[in-house]
Amino acid sequence: MKSLKIRIATFSLALATVGVLASGCNSLTKTQKGAAIGAGAGGTLGAFIGKAAGNTALGAIIGGAVGGTAGAFIGRNMDRQAAEIKQTVPGATVTREGEGILVKFDSGILFDTDKSALKPEAQANLQKLAVSLQNNPETNITIIGHTDNTGSDAHNMDLSVRRAESVKSYIVAGNVAASRLQTVGKGETEPIADNTTVAGRAQNRRVEITIVANSTMKNQAQSAQ
């Protein structure tokens, strides 16, 4: 497994590539910058950045970007939904990235150690997230499970998949169409912190949820130009 330092260095190189595409945009808002980057990057560069950075969530968001004026339209919708999730879903870390939203839950909030059954308080949090997803039906959602490096690679991969599926099942039970959701298990392969420390391992045990525009919102965005 690549070290965190190598991942950060590679990620920086990938971002530098995007920076060239977005040069001259320093005066733009975050939404407008996302639109500009999306226009230059598209799915191919988005997938490259995600792979290079060891960051599936970032790749999903950038890879789904349409860019330009349509991207700015999508960005405004995502600004609104991100604010709604921040206000209504406790325990979630919500970040606006480009034309999408990244929602992160530390696994300690959702699950007991080495388990994939949701805690009661986690169910309450996810129910509130499901309400937001119902209220914003023109999006697709990817649920990504992650673990630390304790245990075997195979066990960690299986655990990450089962946790992502548990989250999906509960959101679907909250009347969100299953066709909008997909799950990915990454095991221990995408750490965001140092696995040699207790605090670092706690950060690496997480579930990330990406929210991006579906074809309906993209068509609306194109029509609004």
Predicted local distance difference test score (pLDDT) of residue 39? 42
Predicted confidence band at 55 (pLDDT cuts at 50, 70, 90)?
confident
Residue 63: the pLDDT is 80
Mean pLDDT of the chain: 82
Kindly report the pTM of this predicted structure. 0.79
Contacts of 161 (CB under 8 A, 6+ apart): 145, 183, 185
Taking the CB of residue 18, how many other CB atoms lie within 10 A of it?
21
Mean pLDDT value across residues 188-212: 95
Helix (H, G, I), strand (E, B) or coil at 139: strand
How far is the C-alpha of 141 from the C-alpha of 176, rounded, in Å? 10
Return the higher-pLDDT residue of 146 and 27: 146
Domain spans of the chain? 4-223
Please indicate whether residue 129 or residue 91 has the higher confidence score (pLDDT): 129
Domain 4-223 has CATH 3.40.50.410: no
Which whole number is the average pLDDT over 87-112? 93
Q: What is the pLDDT of residues 128-167, one digit of tens each?
A: 999 999 999 999 999 999 999 999 999 999 999 999 999 9
Range among 50-54, 70-74, 159-163 with highest mean pLDDT value: 159-163
Rounded Cα distance, 195 and 7, in Å? 14
Q: What is the mean pLDDT of residues 92-99?
A: 94
> In whole angstroms, what is the distance from residue 79 CA to residue 158 CA?
34
